[in-house]
Structure 1
Amino acid sequence: MARRLAAAVALIGSVLLSGCGVDLGTDQNGQKVASDRVDKHWLVVNYWAEWCGPCRTEIPELNKLSDQMNGQKVSVFGVNFDNLQGEDLKTASNALGIKFTVLAQDPAEQYDLPKSEALPVTYIIDDKGKVREQLMGEQTAAGVAQKLAELKGKG
């Protein structure tokens, strides 16, 4: 009886906690990406690859966006399209001059991101975890910042 009660309490606890406090795995440096970086934050998630010319052009813009959004509950994340891991991910990120956090684990399933076969692609996810926009092609810091402002204004 006590084991059943403990199991029921554990199950109820996990249901109540689901959706908040979920870490996003590790970054390009092997550091944990803690839930406090994503909970109640707007997310800009950009998919990139080394072989993608427009990706290389937009990375400095995303670096600028990440700096501009610092302290505003907006987090910029990159995801390598080719699923590079470990030292390969770190090397590729450094080679492209990426200063924002690159996730080693693809968050597509967690946020129900639509699959894209084209690069670059950037998703804007609201502070409740809902995908609000899919931006195809090369982006600018100003353009993404404007889109964020518009989406935040719509609630």
Structure 2
Amino acid sequence: MYATEYNTIITGQTGGEGVRVPAPRPPVDSNDVTEALDHRPQAVRTARHAAQAVLDEWQVASDAVLLVVSELVTNAVEHAAPPLALHLHRERTGSRVWVGVTDGGPVETEGTRTTSRADDEHGPTIVDTLAETHGTRTHPSGTTHWARIAA
């Protein structure tokens, strides 16, 4: 796993605070984790297990974080190009976890479905409900969808 460097501040999101958006870098401390994922349906399970291991290490119990990880990775597998990476950041103040999923950006043809079409509509609602704030950042290497969750 790799750490995550936050090099861009986005302001004006729900919650009013600036939100840092990641750029991968070598590990510095255990509050920042990035894991590359295979761009396939099994990535959802892999990401959930990786997030659970990190949360256990951080001694943070949060089903909300795991649900948001699942939704963001599912969205990336179904609607975006590779590569795919999961970013987790434990904020030093407060009890919040920042989750980011970086993908290669949108594609013209959807990828392999990991959910039924009926479930497709619930993902954005789940993230919106569970996250204090969330958003999207487009950058030269793709797109990062992120959420900040109270844990």
Please give the range of the TM-score, normalised by the shorter of the 2 chains: under 0.3
More helix by share: 1
TM-score of the two chains, using structure 1 as the length reference: 0.27
Q: TM-score, normalised by structure 2?
A: 0.27
| Higher RCO (C-alpha under 8 Å, 6+ residues apart) | 1
